[in-house]
Structure formats: C-alpha cells, structure tokens
Amino acid sequence: MERKLNLALKAVRGLEVALNQFEMMQSDINELDEYYGSEEWKADRAADEAGQLPPGLKRGVLSEDAIWNLLADNKDLLHRLNIDLNKNL
C-alpha cells in the first residue's frame, strides 16, 4: 500500500504539472487555430513555396498537418478531461 501511495502521489503531482502547462498553452493553441488557414498563413506558405524564407528556418507551422493534428489532439484531450474524469469520480 505504501508503494501504491507513493506511485499515486507521483502520478498526481506529474499530472498536476502537465495540466498547468496544458492550461497555459490554450491561448497559444487558440492563436494557432486562428492562424491556420488564415490569409497570413496562406501568404507565409506561398512565400515558403517561392523560396523566400531562409533555408534553415523551421516551417512545421506551414505544413498541412502539424497544426491540424495539434488542434485535433487538443480537442480530444479537452474532451477526455471533461468526460473521463467525471465518470471515474
């Protein structure tokens, strides 16, 4: 039981830290949601395709999948936190 207590405490504390980080990122995720598919995103993507961006610049944000996958995963996690936690209480 002591081992279970210690493991549970570690898991709860770890989740608390992760949830705090997750909550703090929601405004950035909302900004990414607004950016994805916007005229600004389209212009940035066109500039990349035209070779106007520096070669070493990271451009995951301009891919078709990176932001979309993040938004889908974020939605799934929000739904999971809302539903699953309530059914186990």
Range of the domain at 67: 27-87
Counted domains in the chain: 1
pLDDT (mean) for 70-79: 95
7 located within any domain: no
Q: Alpha-carbon distance 20 to 26, whole Å?
A: 10
50 located within any domain: yes
Residue 29: the pLDDT is 95
3 located within any domain: no
Residue 87: the pLDDT is 54
Please state the three-class secondary structure of 1-52 as a single string. CHHHHHHHHHHHHHHHHHHHHHHHHHHHHHHHHHHCCCHHHHHHHHHHHCCC
31 located within any domain: yes
Residue 30 has pLDDT above 60, yes or no: yes
pLDDT (mean) for 68-76: 96
4 located within any domain: no
